[in-house]
């Protein structure tokens, strides 16, 4: 089974269940990674872990060096990535506390280094991005959730916004008209870069708030962080189930 990497999002500056073996401060030709690349073992499976926002959540979404992060994982031999992401819910079935593996995305970001193929170091190429997520990896997550008796929403459209501010109510209404089910800030260019490097990629999203204007309650970081903490146990259980199943097949 190919090497697995886990990219930690908000609330996951570390992976508590990971038995750390070594950490690597990695500088790629695109610069430094967001945090040291951690080599360890999860439920008997060798795993790489990278905190997308840094260990102390000090890197905002629009300043993440996505190219360095994905290049470092590719150089380490990672062939599949499960990317954790805290998101807002737009669809009625995506209430706070919901775990979701989306199958599509809409990119609303701007100004980020979107590709390795910028005509400089890697020349120019055009990858097929019709289905931005790896279907086999999505199905692996869904199967692990079923075996673990955990609810996990299958599919959905992830709308990727620039951040770091949260969205306006009008922006959320537009995204709803566009068909988006959840909203976050980090799936792009991460998913596209993984595709360019031939790495299977899936987002494991956890809903931590309703989108702006969809709830009478005010949006506060205190409430969002509390929901992240509530989701963390479910995320860790699911990751352990995935690692255990992979370890059994090795």
**Distance (Å, whole) CA 162 – CA 175:** 13
Q: Is 153 annotated as a binding residue?
A: no
Radius of gyration in angstroms for the set of CA atoms belonging to the chain, rounded to a whole number: 17
**Distance (Å, whole) CA 220 – CA 34:** 26
Q: Is 52 annotated as a binding residue?
A: yes
**Distance (Å, whole) CA 235 – CA 224:** 16
Evaluate whether 51 touches 186 at the Cβ level (below 8 Å).
Answer: no
Of 5, 31, 3, 24, nearest to 204 by C-alpha is 5
The residues, ordered by sequence, that sit 6+ positions from 124 with a Cβ below 8 Å of its Cβ are 117, 118
Ramachandran area for residue 58 (φ above 0: left; ψ -120 to 50: alpha; else beta)? alpha
Q: Which helix (H) or strand (E) holds 207?
A: strand 200-210
The residues, ordered by sequence, that sit 6+ positions from 28 with a Cβ below 8 Å of its Cβ are 67, 68, 71, 72, 75
Q: Is 10 annotated as a binding residue?
A: yes
Sign of the Cα pseudo-torsion (44, 48, 52, 58, in order): positive
**Distance (Å, whole) CA 66 – CA 47:** 19
Please give the annotated binding residues, written as ranges. 10, 52-53, 185-186
Please give the annotated binding residues for phosphate, written as ranges. 10, 52-53, 186
Please give the annotated binding residues for substrate, written as ranges. 185
């Amino acid at each position: 089974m190919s090497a697995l990497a886990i990219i930690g999002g908000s609330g996951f500056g570390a992976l508590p269940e990971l038995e750390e073996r070594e950490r690597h401060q990695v500088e790629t030709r695109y610069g430094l990674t967001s945090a040291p690349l951690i080599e360890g073992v999860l439920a008997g499976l060798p795993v790489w872990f990278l905190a997308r926002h840094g260990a102390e959540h000090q890197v905002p979404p629009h300043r993440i060096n996505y190219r360095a992060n994905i290049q470092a994982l590719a150089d380490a031999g990672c062939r599949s990535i499960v990317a954790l992401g805290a998101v807002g819910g737009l669809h009625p079935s995506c209430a706070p506390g919901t775990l979701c593996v989306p199958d599509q995305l809409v990119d609303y970001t701007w100004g980020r280094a979107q590709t390795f193929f910028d005509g400089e170091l890697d020349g120019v190429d055009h990858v097929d991005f019709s289905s931005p997520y790896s279907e086999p990896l999505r199905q692996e997550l869904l199967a692990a959730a079923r075996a673990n008796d955990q609810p996990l929403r299958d599919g959905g459209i992830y709308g990727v916004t620039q951040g770091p501010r949260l969205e306006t109510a009008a922006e959320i209404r537009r995204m709803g008209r566009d068909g988006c089910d959840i909203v976050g800030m980090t799936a792009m260019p991460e998913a596209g870069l993984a595709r360019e490097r031939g790495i299977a990629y899936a987002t494991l999203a956890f809903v931590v708030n309703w989108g702006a204007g969809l709830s009478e309650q005010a949006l506060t970081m205190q409430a969002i962080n509390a929901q992240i903490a509530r989701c963390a146990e479910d995320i860790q259980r699911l990751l352990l189930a995935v690692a255990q199943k992979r370890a059994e097949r090795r």
